[in-house]
A and B are shown apart, each in its own frame.
Chain A
């Protein structure tokens, strides 16, 4: 049994709240550079250039790349042989979010669903915990903005629809989302499980390096086919027309009930932010 003091968790979450929002992953920047090379529309090219410039300003000046610094979603993989001491896990994460968002001049965007009263410190975080082997704790901080979250959908398809229904739904979702989720986007989708399982798997798929194919060859092929179909819609960067609406499609699958075919689609904007640390 290994002891981990939760104050380390608070500190890590505070730090990652800031770094995730100011320091865009190299994989995303490389995807912008690929987009710039393949884009046919002049407006689209100018948008890729602006996004690369934006990411540089954010990194160099330590300011958020987007004003919507998101809902703090924290994935926790807790080793079953680790023992947390010094307080509760959720409270430690929330304290990290509170500190990180305050000290980093990040926007506080969390409110009561009915009164819309702002909680003023961007808490509570959404904490998704998994118990895994080992004695370590892995924390992944993935802030996500409201504009792209609003484009998410979970649907229960009819099993007879099969792959075709799954792919049609994903393509249609992108068409309907249009410019709202700030394309170029990364499309995360998960088939199977239960509605809540699919939603989490789809969200988690967005943590992959942009464009890293699924290890399952069947899914990897579907990802390519989906990417082509989505980009053939012609919506392009920012939905203003062009070749690159999506930078990648990440697809996951999980066994489901004999009567169901759940599908979740989670679209992530180009401000695809996530940082991880293992303690």
Chain B
């Protein structure tokens, strides 16, 4: 396993190109949160030729719907949700400059291809380690779709957010590589 790579958002194309499946990363800077319902609205905006509610250039989108923050805290528990539900929308966002996605679980082959084409990467965070992950989230503010509750789009400032590169721009897939290494036929 390689050393830990520190990343700061927004991600540049050069940084994205340097990442390899299996790289352990710590992300600092801003992340934007969105789940299925928010993705649908974002893509609807693009379809209508309207601007998105945040700057998508180089952005990393975190697939998460946090639990409510207790008083005195910035966020509740906040682990990744399953990514395949966003597969239908991912390429549209890559087309306009999204460079990273954080979630859990395999992506569809066309999403992996889109990552190669548009130079974007897919990271996984530890699914279910939500109380631990919340510690790396320093501030949260709703930027759009407050009516969606946990599914609203939020801007999160994170510090050393722990993730691993699943799909790089070469089309490699850590889930496949990992399983092949430990499979007993």
Contact = CB atoms under 8 A, between A and B. Distances in A.
Interface in B43-87: 64-70, 76-79, 81-82, 84
A234 B67 contact: no
Contacts of B82: 146-147, 150, 180
Given A105-B76, A180-B82, A180-B106, A40 B175 contact: no
Contact of B131 (A40, A54, A243): A54
B76 A57 contact: no
A53 B84 contact: no
A50 to B, nearest CB: 5
Nearest to A63: B131
A222 interface: no
B178 A105 contact: no
A182 B76 contact: no
A108 B70 CA distance: 14
Contact of B178 (A53, A64, A236): A236
B31 to A, nearest CB: 15
Contacts of A54: 126, 128-132
Contacts of B157: none
Nearest to A57: B131
Could you say which interface size class chain A belongs to? 35 or more
B18 interface: no
A178 interface: yes
Contacts of A42: 1
Contacts of A65: 77, 128, 130-131
Interface in A15-70: 40-43, 47, 50-51, 53-54, 57-58, 61, 63-69
A64 B128 contact: no
A116 B37 contact: yes
A88 interface: no
A51 B128 CA distance: 8
Contacts of A66: 77, 79, 128, 130-131
A105 B182 contact: no
11 contacts: A41-B182, A63-B77, A65-B128, A67-B65, A118-B148, A179-B104, A234-B178, A240-B164, A241-B177, A241-B181, A271-B128
Interface of B: 1, 37, 64-70, 76-79, 81-82, 84, 104-106, 124, 126-132, 134-135, 148-150, 164, 174-175, 177-185
| Top 8 A-B pairs, shortest CB-CB distance | A241-B178, A234-B182, A234-B183, A182-B127, A232-B184, A180-B105, A107-B67, A54-B132
Interface of A: 40-43, 47, 50-51, 53-54, 57-58, 61, 63-69, 105-109, 116, 118, 120, 146-147, 150, 178-180, 182, 232-236, 238-243, 269-271
Given A146-B82, A239-B175, 20 more contacts: A40-B182, A41-B182, A54-B132, A63-B70, A66-B77, A106-B68, A107-B150, A108-B150, A150-B82, A178-B175, A179-B124, A179-B175, A180-B84, A180-B106, A182-B128, A234-B182, A235-B175, A236-B179, A241-B179, A241-B180
